[in-house]
C-alpha cells in the first residue's frame, strides 16, 4: 500500500498491513491493526480500531462503486505474477 504523509512533506511511504488481531486489553478498541512502512523509512504503525471505526470503514467499503473496485482488485493478478507470466518464469518451472 502507499501511504501519503503530510507530516513529512509530500512523502509517499511504501507499507503493508502486517497484522490484524483482537485487542485483549481494551473493550473500547476491539481490533488492533499493525502496518509496517518500509520505504523511505522503516516504521511500525499501530492503529487501535473501535466499533465506530469499523462501522465507518464497512459503511464506506460496502458502497457499490467501492465493492466493484475491490472485486476487480481481488480478481486481478499481482504485478509480480504478471511479470513472471510475461517472462515465462512460472513458479515451479526450472
pLDDT of residue 90: 47
CA distance 94 to 91: 8
Residue-wise pLDDT for 46-81, tens only, equals: 999 999 999 999 999 999 999 999 999 999 877 665
pLDDT of residue 86: 56
pLDDT of residue 52: 93
Sign of the C-alpha dihedral computed for residues 72, 76, 78 and 79 taken in this order? negative
**Whether the predicted pLDDT of 44 surpasses 50:** yes
Q: Where are the domains of the chain?
A: 1-49, 51-87
CA distance 17 to 83: 23
Amino acid at each position: 500500500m502507499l501511504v501519503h504523509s503530510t507530516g513529512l512533506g509530500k512523502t509517499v511511504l511504501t507499507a503493508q498491513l502486517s497484522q490484524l488481531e483482537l485487542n485483549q486489553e481494551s473493550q473500547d478498541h476491539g481490533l488492533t491493526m499493525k502496518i509496517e512502512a518500509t520505504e523511505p523509512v522503516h516504521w511500525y504503525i499501530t492503529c487501535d480500531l473501535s466499533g465506530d471505526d469499523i462501522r465507518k470503514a464497512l459503511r464506506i467499503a460496502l458502497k457499490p462503486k467501492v465493492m466493484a473496485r475491490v472485486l476487480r482488485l481481488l480478481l486481478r493478478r499481482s504485478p509480480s505474477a504478471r511479470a513472471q507470466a510475461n517472462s515465462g518464469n512460472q513458479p515451479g518451472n526450472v
